[in-house]
Amino acid sequence: MGNGNTAVWLTRLAAGIALSLGLWALPAAAEDTVCRSDTAHLRGPFGQARFTVELADEPKEREIGLMNRESMAASAGMLFVYERPQRVRFWMRNTLIPLDMIFMDRRGVVVKVHHNAVPLDETFIEGGRGIAAVLEINGGMARALGIEAGSQLRHPALDQTVALWPC
C-alpha cells in the first residue's frame, strides 16, 4: 500500500474499531443533550454521532482550517460556520490528512458529502450554494458511520430559530 492508501485504510480501521466500541453512541445522560460549542451532533438513518470539534467561525480560522496537521483523533473534526449561507469551495492545500467534508444548509441539513478529499490536492471541492456550515472529519468516517445527504447537525452556532434539530 502507498501512503495514501495506508492512511485511508488506517482511518477505516479506526472507524470500525470506534463503531464496535460504541464511541459514537450517545448516552442518554443529561449533559449529552446540552449543546456545546466544542461538540457537533449528527443524526440520520444511521442513528446519532458526536464529534469533538474546533470551531472555525472567523475568516482567518476558516482560511487555515486543518492545514499542516499530521493526524486527528477519530472522533474529532472542525466545524466551519459562516455568517450567512453562501457558495463555498474548499481545497486541500497544506492539508496532510484525508478528510470528509460535510456541507450543511442553514437548518443544519446535510446537502452534500465529499468523501476522502486527497491530501495536498489544490483542486477545488464545490460545496454548493446556500451552505451555512461545513464539518470536516477524518476521511472515510462519513461513509463508515452512514452520514449522508438529509442527515442533520445540532450545534449552537446554527440559527436556532430555523435549525431542524435545535439545542
Give the domain ranges of the chain.
Answer: 3-154
Range list of β-strands (E), 12-124: 39-44, 47-56, 76-90, 99-104, 110-117
pLDDT band at residue 34 using 50, 70 and 90 as cut-offs: confident
Q: Is the pLDDT reported for residue 123 higher than 90?
A: yes
Calculate the alpha carbon distances from 97 to 57, 61, 93, 125 in Å.
Answer: 21, 18, 11, 15
pLDDT band at residue 25 using 50, 70 and 90 as cut-offs: very low
For the chain, the average pLDDT equals 87
CATH architecture, range 3-154: Sandwich (2.60)
3-state SS assignment for residue 91: coil
Q: Which three cell numbers stand for residue 21?
A: 466500541
The proportion of the chain whose per-residue pLDDT surpasses 70, expressed as a percent, equals: 80
**pTM metric for this prediction:** 0.83
Helix, strand, coil percent values for the chain (each to nearest 5): 20, 40, 40
pLDDT digits 0-9 by tens, 70-115: 999 999 999 999 999 999 999 999 999 999 999 999 999 999 999 9
